[in-house]
Amino acid sequence: MTESSGPIEAIAQALSCAIAAALGEQYRDTDLQIRPSQNPKFGDYQANFAMKLAKQLGSNPRELASKVADAAAEELAAIAEPLEVAGPGFINIRLKNQAIAHMLSSMDNQELGVTQQDDPHTIVIDLCAVNIAKQMHVGHLRSTIIGDALARILERIGRTVLRENHLGDWGLPIAMVLHELLEAKTNLDTLKLAELDSAYRKAQQKAKDDDAFLEAAKTTLVKLQNSDPQLIEDWHKLINCTLTALYESLEILNVKLTKENNRGESFYRDKLPGVIEAFTNAKLAKEDDGAMVVPFDTRERPLLIQKSDGGYLYATTDLAAIRLRTGQSNANRIIYVVDARQRDHFRDVFDAAKLIGWDKTPDGECAELRHIPFGSVLGPDKRPLKTRSGENVTLKSLLDEACERGESEVKKRASDPKAPTHGLSEAELKDIGTAVGIGAIKYADLSNDLVRDYVFDMNRMVRFEGNTGPYLQYAHARICSIFTKAGIDAGVLSSEQFAIGEPAERRLALTLLKYPDIIADVAKTLEPHRLCTYLYELADAYSSFYEHCPVLKAETDSIKRSRLKLCHLTRNVLSDGLDLLGIKAPTRM
RNA sequence: GCGCCCGUAGCUCAGUUGGAUAGAGCACCGGUUUCCUAAACCGGGGGUCGCAGGUUCGAGUCCUGCCGGGCGCGCCA
């Protein structure tokens, strides 16, 4: 039996050898297409390579499959029942229960079987990116939640991740609001978010109606860009006002993002002239109507990198950022979690970066530049979420609602004298409620294909049934309660053996064994909803197991201990998976 | 006008990157159950995968053309 590898690796190794033996060494690296079977009657796993390979060789796929299956029989005998060839040439593999138990032991450790990458390059994730000229609204929620989850997943496979909050803290909108605040003689030391919001709206309106205001704001921008000491000081006060609120919200959201992660547009301000210079020297940029543009062979519209008045644009900043991230931060993967409307922008910026070679790390590796486009959060009317008066919903009000709803769900259940949460203190219930409410909105955000819009429906998100965050948290809490009830510390089980017998145990075990592959898949595709789907499947398999297999009242002590180990491993995978989504898993709820 | 994205059950969504009879959850209908158990369980109906072609052993998935919805299209970020 192969050592400490998952089922797919073990099967793949045997089949590769078998193909090499039966067909020749040159076919050893054939893509075996091994995957879990959809239907139990097709075994636990299936290998689908025979059809394609037979085509290449001009032979019969069923015969080819049989030949390979025969050649693999001896090596696989230790872990699998005799292979079956079915349909046009599928090879169906059913694992022996003993092998399943052995493989479970292999993943029953700190890493839960997740393969660690030892790539010395970093990964940069560009996320959150709030505009500091106004209060945060619901639009900032997704970038932050998704970016944080992706960062956690990539850290989980052993990578060094640099989370960079690309704050909108520089440029005309900031100058405009700053100008408005100063003109109104607002005291910036006591600036409140509400004042800022109203100043922002006024400034936007004035800029439209009043040319003189716009000109004055542009003058303020020039002063700011020239580092006028007084103005810079005022600018810092403005930033602090929004950032203080941001960090409070991030704390509630359980997102790992602090001041250390600030890499706003202002951070790149002295690197912008160098961008134009580099593109000009490389003859990749040309003048067009007084502005500098980077033309592309494949399309009409070029990328504008400098305005005709000499000013820079956000494309310029993004290019400067790529240059720094590959060149100095040594990133071979740069991930932009920005809404889908900016697709064209990132395509242009990435192409421009490739033209000039800034996608290369110092050791010459080609970095992956990746935009993660996500859809909008919609209201019940299927239009982008707004308040009744037509304003953007503030992030704060959304989080408040989530926490309240979570708390009321938890308290409702705690009022039952039989509930494990009965009698907990107000503060404890509040903490659990926050975890539930925030878990609900995060899970709703992450559990479907990111690119799609979704309707924000608190009633559905907070339900304890169906594919929701609270359901998974509940599944986890219930397992915790078994150990409390049994009075057993899971640590004492470490020397015990897994034993797989009942169909429900088997299904749970096979689901557990998928976890390392799911994490590897999500780290590659950057599609967190696949992890959500998996965790739901796991909770479902566990639920069925728990329904059909008595744990504390198992027939024998060894079965009881094995089942407790299954419970424990399931709990660990659930809490690990939820943690990767940035969702807390309380032990009681 | 050009470009991009989306279209799967009544509703909300999956669909392992081209694999076997398209799956879940809500909702609906029928039955079982008071348990080691803190979400009860089992079964059932419900589908022209937007439409039409094409590629091949095989298409919800790939290519082309339509239809419908959303978004974006140089000196804002």
Q: Is the pLDDT of residue A236 over 50?
A: yes
pTM: 0.96
DSSP structural state of residue A60: -
Give me the pLDDT at residue A495, please: 86
Q: Mean pLDDT throughout A136-162?
A: 95
What is the rounded distance in angstroms from the CA atom of residue A345 to the CA atom of residue A351? Answer: 10
- What residues are paired with A372 via a beta bridge? A337
Return the amino acid letter for A149.
A
How many percent of chain A have pLDDT more than 90?
79
Q: Is the pLDDT of residue A4 over 60?
A: no
Give me the pLDDT at residue A493, please: 87
Return the amino acid letter for A135.
Q
**DSSP-derived 3-state class of residue A312:** strand
**DSSP-derived 3-state class of residue A535:** helix
Residue-wise pLDDT for A169-188, tens only, equals 998 889 999 999 999 999 99
Gap from A293 CA to B1 C1', in Å? 23
Q: Mean pLDDT throughout A13-30?
A: 94
A389 or A321, higher pLDDT: A321
CA distances from A56 to A14, A49, A62, A85, A557 (A): 22, 11, 14, 19, 54
Cβ A114 vs Cβ A579: under 8 Å = no
Q: Is the pLDDT of residue A438 over 80?
A: yes
Q: Say yes or no: Cβ of A474 under 7 A from any atom of strand B.
A: yes
Gap from A418 CA to B43 C1', in Å? 32
How many percent of chain A have pLDDT more than 70?
99
Q: Is the pLDDT of residue A522 over 80?
A: yes
Residue-wise pLDDT for A442-472, tens only, equals 999 999 999 999 999 999 999 988 899 999 9
Residue-wise pLDDT for A257-290, tens only, equals 999 999 999 999 999 999 999 999 999 999 999 9
Q: Mean pLDDT throughout A197-220?
A: 89
ipTM: 0.95
Bases of chain B with protein Cβ within 7 A: 3-6, 12-17, 19-21, 24-26, 36-42, 57-58, 70-77
How is chain A split among helix, strand and coil, in percent rounded to 5?
Answer: 55, 10, 30
Residues in A 45-84 whose C-beta is less than 7 A from nucleic strand B are 46, 48, 51-52, 55
What is the rounded distance in angstroms from the CA atom of residue A166 to the CA atom of residue A174? Answer: 15
Q: Is the pLDDT of residue A138 over 90?
A: no
Give me the pLDDT at residue A154, please: 98
Residue-wise pLDDT for A47-84, tens only, equals 999 999 999 899 999 999 999 999 999 999 999 999 99
Residues in A 334-363 whose C-beta is less than 7 A from nucleic strand B are 340-345
Mean pLDDT, chain A, whole residue set:
93
What is the rounded distance in angstroms from the CA atom of residue A221 to the CA atom of residue A242? Answer: 19
Q: How does strand A122-127 pair with strand A286-288?
A: unpaired
What is the rounded distance in angstroms from the CA atom of residue A463 to the CA atom of residue A423? Answer: 23
Residue-wise pLDDT for A300-322, tens only, equals 899 999 999 898 999 999 999 99
Which nucleotide does the CA of A176 lie closest to, via C1'?
A: B76
Length of chain A: 589
Return the amino acid letter for A410.
V
Give me the pLDDT at residue A392, please: 83
Return the amino acid letter for A387.
T
Q: Mean pLDDT throughout A522-534?
A: 96
Return the amino acid letter for A271.
K
Gap from A185 CA to B21 C1', in Å? 73
What pLDDT band is residue A1 in, cutting at 50, 70 and 90? very low
Which nucleotide does the CA of A317 lie closest to, via C1'?
A: B77
Residue A533's nearest CA partner among A142, A525, A432, A175 is A525
Tokens 């959060």 sit on residue: A377
Q: Is the pLDDT of residue A2 over 50?
A: no
Residue A508, CA atoms < 13 Å, CB-side half-sphere: 32
